[in-house]
Structure 1
Amino acid sequence: MANQDIFTLIHSRYNSFTNTEKKVADYILENIKGVIYMSITDLADACNVGESSVFRFCKTMDLKGYQEFKIVLAHSISLDNETPQLSSMITMQDTIEELASKALSSNINALTETFNLITENNISNAVESMVQAERIHFFGVGTSLMTAMEAKNKFMRITNKTECSLDSHLQVMSAALMTEKDVAILISYSGSTKDTIEVAKVAKERGAKIISITRFAKSPLTSFSDITLLCGANEGPLQGGSLSAKIAQLYLLDLLYFEYFKRTNKEAVHNKELTAKAVIEKML
């Protein structure tokens, strides 16, 4: 299905769409490139329809869901372009010098936009929740799991109450054992990953504080969040795991870390000395 031209498909089936599906189709055709970077919630809001209507539109197109729709859309845009693109900025014709410059610009833009999206109250409340928590769980799937592991590695140097499970089944079981004294930090660029949403739902039912690190203010994940921290990187459906998105997430985690360190200074310094001493024998 990836080689299917989505625009031809929409036009060929347009007359069979319901009025709601036509609203979705019209918006997509008028905002082709922007839709690639929209969550299902953003698209639904833009079309003044429900998320279920967008999902039904995708099913009507014989697609499994919204993510597959975005993948097909990205392929269709590539087919329309004379110059193949690896991302929104980088092309197959770029020299190494141009690649280096564009990669630098992409990462700087992601960090700058993330900085502009920071809300001081959200950061302060998130850190205060972490300080007061008995346990802090980091959750993620795929590339976001690696970011969650980075967070675990960073925070365990200054506190002994962090956890990060590597398997989606173990994650949801951990969520089921959380209490109102725990904090769940869920990392998901799209905010639409099924396993992560399930973890958020279970943790919320257990009364845990939910902190989300994501790209979109409105998504299935943020509907469960007490605090949402937004990262500013744009990642297309064919760019899964882009470093600019990960760098933006790590920047937010760095900010949480430094503020946590400040608020627990005496304990943090003591634990940092202990953990540093524990691994020093491993170094030459």
Structure 2
Amino acid sequence: MNKRNNTSLEPSNDAPVRPMVLLNLEAALDYPNALARVAQYILENPNKVVRQSLAELSSACQSGQASIFRLCRELGYEGYTDFKLALAAEIGQREAEFKKNRNLAGNSLDEMASLICRSISNTRELVQSAILADVAKGLLQANQINIYGSGESGIAAEILSYRLLRLGLNAHFLNNSSLACEVASVLTNKAAVIAISQSGASPDTVAFAKNAHNAGAFTVAITCHPKALVAKYSDAVLQMARLQQPDLGGQMLGLPRAIFIAEALAIAITEITSAGDSNS
């Protein structure tokens, strides 16, 4: 690998462009915890990362500079600057492709619809009825349900909270990470929490699940990575399908998967309550 002397984020003409930077980062979500936190942050903030220094990224993702450097080496780069050059190049390519596809009559809409449909159908294949029933029972037995997620997962958490409220459950969406962790730490075994994180490695969400689990609350994780850190602190895991392409900032293509999970839980809860009514 040839070393580069320039530090500009604009790739030079002779600079080798590595494809699949973001997809390789998605695979890195299954790496050890510190590396996974770095990968998660970069996936959620790619445009911000290309303008951040090593120290700034370290502070933002709550991982040491050595972990960031190690991740860059694991992904095949000489260091952080080399990685940022490749990331900036891919972002530019993807934005150009998006603008081009947006101008193609109907094609981008069809592709988007296909991606969303696949994400829902793949999630359906991953959701196990037995786990869904166990989660539904746990939620019905809880005197309160606290739900948290950050970023797009926060929107999913709010949607799920609304759906459970409509079923008559005492569900609450927590939109502040500090408050969520404080609330989780004082719960009892009569409470339940749902932690939503696509990667399963978001530090705030992991801390929320850990505090709740340690307090004795019934803890559920909704994630694309069932072996991720958030699952370690969960009594049950509902798995969503990974998107076939990673999100760039602003896209909301992952939300339909979470809505499907919410509706699947609603069906399981309704089946249990209906069976109870018929037996009484």
TM-score (norm 2): 0.70
CA separation of 1:35/1:174 partners in 2, compared to 1, >3 Å: closer, same or farther?
A: same
For residue 230 of structure 1, the aligned residue among 239, 252, 268 is 239
Q: Greater shift after overlay, 52-61 or 123-132?
A: 52-61
Distance 1:142 1:2 in 2: 29
Structure 2 matches for 1:231-250, cutoff 5 A? Answer: 231-234=240-243, 239-240=248-249, 242-250=251-259
Which residue pairs with 1:171 in the alignment? 180
Change (3 A) 1:37 1:177: same
Q: Where does structure 1 lack aligned partners over 5 or more consecutive residues?
A: 12-28, 45-49, 269-284
The one of 201, 217, 222 equivalent to 1:208 is 217
C-alpha root-mean-square deviation of aligned residues, in Å? 3.7
For 1:150 and 1:80, the matched residues in 2 are separated by: 32
Cα offset for 1:166? 2.0
Task: Give how far 1:165 is off.
Answer: 1.9
Change (3 A) 1:74 1:36: farther
Aligned to 2:219, the other structure's residue is in SS state strand
Partner amino acid, structure 1, of 2:190:
K
The one-letter code of the counterpart of 2:135 is A
Do structure 1's residue 3 and structure 2's residue 12 form an aligned pair? no
Q: How does 1:89-238 map to 2 (within 5 A)?
A: 91-94=98-101, 95-234=104-243
Between the aligned partners of 1:2 and 1:123, the Cα distance in structure 2 is 50
1:134 and 1:249, CA in 2 relative to 1: closer, same or farther beyond 3 A? same
Q: Alignment identity in percent?
A: 17
Matched with 1:35 is: 24
Contact 2:147 2:194 in 1 (8 A): yes
Q: CA deviation at 1:152?
A: 1.4
1:273 is aligned to: none
Displacement, 1:179? 0.8
Q: CA deviation at 1:60?
A: 2.8
Shift of 1:133: 1.4
> How much has 1:258 moved relative to structure 2?
1.6
2:86 corresponds in structure 1 to 76
**Taking structure 1 as reference, are residues 246 and 74 closer, same or farther at Cα in structure 2, changes over 3 Å only?**
farther
1: CA distance, partners of 2:166 / 2:229: 32
Alignment CA distance shift 1:53-1:85 (3 Å): closer
Distance across 2 between alignment mates of 1:208 and 1:237: 33
Deviations 1:128-185 (A, max 9, x none): 1111111111111222112111111121122141112221122112112211111111
Per-residue CA deviations over 1:98-132 (Å, capped at 9, x if unaligned) read 11111101101111111111112111111111111
Alignment partners' CA distance in 1, 2:165 and 2:34: 40
Aligned match of 1:258 in 249, 252, 267?
Answer: 267
Structure 2 residue matching 1:186: 3-state secondary structure: strand
Structure-1 residue corresponding to 2:3: none
- Cα distance in 1 for partners of 2:246, 2:119 equals 17
5+ residue gaps, structure 2, are 1-6, 39-64
Question: Using the alignment, how far apart are the partners of 1:250 and 1:73 within structure 2?
Answer: 35
Q: How many residue pairs were aligned?
A: 233
TM score, norm. by length of structure 1: 0.69
Closer, same or farther: CA 79–160 of 1 in aligned 2, 3 Å: closer
Stretch moving more, 228-237 or 200-209:
228-237
